[in-house]
Copies of this chain bind each other. A is one copy, B any other.
Amino acid sequence: MAAFDDLMRYQRETVALEQVAGRLGWDQETMMPKGAGEQRAEEMAAISTVLHQRRSAAQVGDWLAQIDDGDLPPEAQAQLRLIRRDYDRTTRLPVDLAAELARTRSLAHQRWAEARATEDVAHFLPMLAHMIDLKRQEGAALAAGSGTSPYDALLQDYEPGATSAQLEAMFGALRPRLVALRDACFGASHAPQPLQGQFDEAGQLALSRSLAVAFGYDMARGRIDKAVHPFSSGSGDDVRITTRTNPSDPFNCFYSTIHEVGHAAYEQGINPAYRLTPLGQGVSMGVHESQSRIYENQLGRSAAFTGWLYQQMQAQFGDFGIGNAEAFFGTVNRLQNGYIRTEADEVQYNLHVLLRFDLERQLISGALDAADLEEAWNTRFMADFGFAVDKPSHGCLQDVHWSEGLFGYFPTYSLGNVYAGCLHQALRADLPMLDADLALGNTVAATQWLREKVQQHGGLYAPRQVIENACGQAPSEAPLLDYLEEKFSQIYRL
């Protein structure tokens, strides 16, 4: 199959260039001199243009037309499935629309940052309205002839195979039990003690490094730097993470690190034979998030593991006013009212996501105008959280996603949590001694299980299929809810 070999050679170069572009993004957030922003924008635009040209090249279409997938082994067929999907999506988008989207992304992002800094929603609205219009067009172009809605077409960029209907059903079942659990916790007579005091940066970074290693992050194929926002970047043998520190909130540093290690371990854990091929990356945002969240929450915030962390923090910082490991488990998992999704506790996090999922579907369908977004957000927030948004940066201006046109991204956060719940249930069943390991800071059995069941496959199976294969049953929200109810009933003595 000369055409297949040629296509794969070409594809390998494309993936290598994607890695280069990704590393440029990493550099921008960690190393770039502050005066280099304008020049960097041109550099990013240049490599994006190259990538777009490669992805949409007629030559790719010619190769694809020459290949009979049925003649090939399963892994080659999986490669082709991903290449065909990418080529199809790229070429469905009219060139002018793609250019206008790229231009608007950059402008809207800047406008959003200004609006957020000045608490001025109106400053962002015209650009948001334009972005929504473009995304509707994009969704329509991608959906053309398929019978799916524009929103569902956009969703495929983040979670191939997912549908709004499926997610709605799943999230619909999630919401009432999360609200009930949250209300029960806040109404309980017992409440965990908050963390107090100051924790020096060097100590936080040293311990977060130990945590990364404890969770199996391969430092020979990665590195940890500081950045304003924690993220993971890269695939294969060069997967880097960032973290951040706040003197009064070391948990932010530790659990951001563990979260990013979950993403990074996924990328590092993919079958090395897939390196620099379409199969060589995590299969979807939802499955990615399942890894980061199970590392962070089901493992990292478990009673057993926090027992070990409690000792580590005492060794690093001395006595910090929490009397024992059980109290510390409560402190780590303590529920708190708050406006910000990324700082939300495990029970309330998904309520933040569900709000966005519902609003963004309405924005794309046209049921909600950009002009009415702030009011809709604030009304829904009050209904879900029981207190009022005090300013736009705590409300509809808090997240970057819509300014960058990432409609369809939000639900993958909650889907990832649901998947993490499923995986955790299966993992516990397979590893009865898990807590004994975690109590020693040993995650090897758990991370090996995840590597074998999920991570190694990269893009080989469809997202839902990966989870179903790993768990032996179709994913549902029930295991996540059962886990949360059990855990927080214990902590809040419900």
A residues touching B (Cβ–Cβ < 8 Å)?
12-14, 16-17, 19-20, 23-24, 27, 31-36, 38-40, 42-43, 45-47, 49-50, 218-223, 236-238, 240, 275-276
Taking A20-B47, A35-B220, A35-B237 as known contacts, 13 extra A-B pairs with beta carbons closer than 8 A to each other, sorted by chain A number, are A12-B46, A13-B46, A14-B46, A17-B43, A17-B46, A20-B43, A20-B46, A27-B27, A32-B238, A33-B221, A35-B218, A39-B236, A50-B50
Contacts of A42 in B (CB 8 A): 12, 16, 276
**Chain B residues closer than 8 Å to A45, beta-carbon distance:** 13, 16
How far apart are the CA atoms of A24 and B220 in the complex, in Å?
A: 18
Contact A220 B27 (CB under 8 A): no
Other-chain residue from B24, B27, B221 in contact with A36 (beta carbon distance below 8 A): B221
Which residue of B39, B221, B240 is within 8 Å of A276 (Cβ)?
A: B39
Task: Please tell me if the beta carbons of A16 and B223 are within 8 angstroms of each other in the complex.
Answer: no
Specify how many copies of this chain sit in the oligomer: 2
B275 lies within 8 A of A31 (CB) = no
Q: Is the CB of B39 within 8 A of A19?
A: yes
Chain B's closest residue to A220 (CB) is: B35
Pull 9 A–B residue pairs with CB atoms less than 8 Å apart, ordered by A: A17-B50, A23-B24, A23-B27, A23-B43, A33-B220, A33-B237, A33-B238, A35-B237, A50-B50
A421 to chain B, nearest CB (A): 32
Q: How far is the CA of A43 from the CA of B15 in the complex (A)?
A: 9
Q: Which residue of B lies closest to A21 (CB)?
A: B20
A20 and B17 CA atoms in complex are apart in Å by 11
Establish whether residues A223 and B33, one from each chain, have CB atoms under 8 Å apart when the complex forms.
yes
Q: B13–A275 contact, CB under 8 A?
A: no
